[in-house]
Amino acid sequence: MSKAEKLKRKEYEALLEPLQRELAMMARWAMHTGQRILVLIEGRDTAGKGGVIGAISAHINPRQCRTVALPKPSDRERSQWYFQRYVPHLPAAGELVLFDRSWYNRAGVEKVMGYADDKQIKAFLKQAPVFEQMLIDDGILLFKYWLCCDQEEQEQRFAERREDPLKGWKLSPVDLEARTRYNDYTKAREAMLKATHTEQAPWTLVDFNDQKRGRLTLIRDLLDRLPDTEIKPEPVDFPPLDGKPQKEKFSVVKPLAPFEA
């Protein structure tokens, strides 16, 4: 997809707003029914995981919608059953949990970077479908998305991160190493899909070369795969104020002077 075909911001925002209204309605439905929703967002570095998670969660109560982005495991966690560190973050009744990378780290970055050996990778690919089946059998609604990004587009985004001081934190030594292993990540992903794309917990791949269009596509797909979630909100009546409205007393910080071009 060429740059000329990418979605413009105003058009994107106009298309996003009704989807976010549906997401807010979905959140009311989940709270009303006690449903548990788990969404795994996977993909290459720079694919756009954080952006789509932000678009999903923007207008949902943060007490209800949690984003999980775990750091590298501690020595103690490395000695545990692999899935153990993820279990405490699973959704409770009425919650939506968005994993910014998940247990599939083992089949991706840990495999490619050599953080896990062949025995560990083989065990993971065997256990992951079983683990996910347990979650589904317990009533969790599980969705797995992989964000696709071509190498040329990935290189442009890496360059943007290098030049933008507000995005520099996104460039880690592992990210820089990943640049040279695009094909290795492709092979690891294909092996992962082959082993873990099941009827009960299928993978959905979304084109994220245009991140705005990719966000809209993913959100629309997620909403379409959930039951009819329309729950009309209860009307809210404000009680009358006790006396006259009060003015808050505080000191005023002098506003910044206008910036000159």
Query: What pLDDT, in 10s, does the model give residues 98-157?
Result: 999 999 999 999 999 999 999 999 999 999 999 999 999 999 999 999 999 999 998 888
Write down all domains in the chain, each with its CATH number in brackets: 3-224 (3.40.50.300)
For residues 22 and 254, what is the distance between their CA atoms, to the nearest angstrom?
41
For residues 180 and 34, what is the distance between their CA atoms, to the nearest angstrom?
45
Calculate the CA 250 to chain-centre distance.
40
Residue position matching structure tokens 């001081």: 165
pLDDT tens column, 69-114? 999 999 999 999 999 999 999 999 999 999 999 999 999 999 999 9
Interacting residues of 209 by C-beta distance below 8 A, sequence separation 6+: 1, 148, 149, 150, 153
Type of residue numbered 126: K
Backbone angles phi, psi at 206, to 5 degrees: -125, 130
Global pTM value = 0.87
pLDDT at 231: 72
- Is residue 23 helix, strand or coil? helix
Bridge partner list, 145: 41, 204
Q: Is 214 left (phi over 0), alpha (psi -120 to 50) or beta?
A: alpha
- Please give the structure tokens belonging to residue 151: 């190498």
Three-state SS string over 64-86 comes to: CEEEECCCCCCHHHHCCCHHHHC
